[in-house]
Structure 1
Amino acid sequence: MERDLELTDADFARIRELIYRRAGIVLAEHKREMVYSRLAKRLRHHGLTRFGDYLARLERQPEAREWEAFTNALTTNLTAFFREAHHFPLLGEHLRGRTGPVRIWSAAASTGEEPYSIAMTLAETLGPRAQPARVIGTDIDTDALARARAGVYPLEQVHKLEEARVKRFFQKGTGRQAGLARVRPDIRAMVEFESLNLLAPGWALKGPFDAIFCRNVMIYFDKETQARILERFAPLLKPDGLLFAGHSENFSYITRAFRLRGQTVYTLA
């Protein structure tokens, strides 16, 4: 592959170290092409031709806003409405009899599909009692969070849902918004989005939560980081709270704070 920018082995090693320190993400060797294609845009934006110069600039300015762009470029935002669909009926059953305010944390909210799916589940399960409920969606990627707050998605993505859900929870765009759909205001009002780095020494959000969704993000961390995050989740859950993991994640051998309840669903040990 012919490249117009210089990415040396040393540069790639520095990138892997910096993103691990910054966000806990472990970049495998085979991610080199992905790193080049995503960060090349940042170099061109700054008129640079060598990754070494870009990294040196970053390290000279530890508080620079470019760190945000660097992190956003290297995070992965693969998501969908009602992804891993078996989790949502379980959540509904867990909350069906609740009378107090419900609070749920989506710890890797990405572009918003997961927290909005949670809010839709609450609306379907609790009816009018869902309105005081709050879903907190957090992510390290500020670009993804901006899209999440807008709540606007391509129609082809929305039309993968059942027709009844599309009619109930989305507004179809017209004119310049043709081909797009927006989450209805009553559902958007239930969801708050905040920037949060799971590796940060302190988290601004407070528990307790009825459920925490942390799905398909732990796979980017090493075992030590996974264990540390899971131990911080435990005191934020209600005693009967649920922790939802991704389909390829297994927390049973990482921490004693949680025990497996069912398919990728955990409770406090």
Structure 2
Amino acid sequence: MQQNKPFPRVLTIAGSDSGGGAGIQADLKTFGALGAYGASVVTAVTAQNTLGVQGVHAVPADMVAAQCESVLGDIRMDAVKIGMLPDVATIETVAQALRKYPVPFMVLDPVLVATSGDSLALENTVDAICGQLLPLADVVTPNLNELAQLSGNAPAQDEAEMLAQGQQLLQKGAKAVLLKGGHWADSAQARDWLVQRNSEPQCFVNSRIATANTHGTGCTLASAIAALYPHRRNLNFAVAAAKSYLHGAIAAGQYWKVGSGHGPLAHFWRTVRD
């Protein structure tokens, strides 16, 4: 098959989800569903299913560095999506690799995990993300808890507080922040806000879908933005198109029965036929 235009090459740097619903597995499914070539750097191996995370093993930083060197030194990447980075050494390693091999577009989905359970370890991780990766990212996609940790606040209780915390991340060096309001279950709508420097906040609205199959939504949204941005190189377009794709994946996935807890999305909903 001959293509009229090149397909995007997108790298995910994230943890592996043994249950297949989130992390590296969700990222690669999303890339494939949206017509992008996906490559990966595994930062952690998790024992995980629809009920939760039972264990986390961080990949040594030198192996993360070797993966980055192998992939970025050979394959020209159009975009990169960064997910779970389990410790400061890994954050610094990834930042160093991306400074050595700049990628045109970077999405940072700050999955904040302290493998030791130590609050100080988490604090150091947050400081490292803000200092090392926030200035490199073109857009950051935190959920409400991650937004609070990165901005140094309690979790936002309404959209006004959420927008204020987003502005704080811009002041810390972020170029753009996608504020995800889907965690407020008392609303009939899922309202996300994109805040950027020198620009008015833009709201993206979808209807809320009543389903427990929401595992991997954050990974999927961030990966979709990374896969879609190279087509037009317009962040607003990429966010809107990614939101539309995610909404369809949630809608189709609500009828799945995978596991006993929060099931996965239907990443290939556009190609599956009854």
TM-score, L = length of structure 1: 0.32
Q: Which structure shows the bigger proportion of residues in helix conformation?
A: 1
The structure with more radius of gyration: 1
Higher relative contact order (CA 8 A, sep 6+): 2
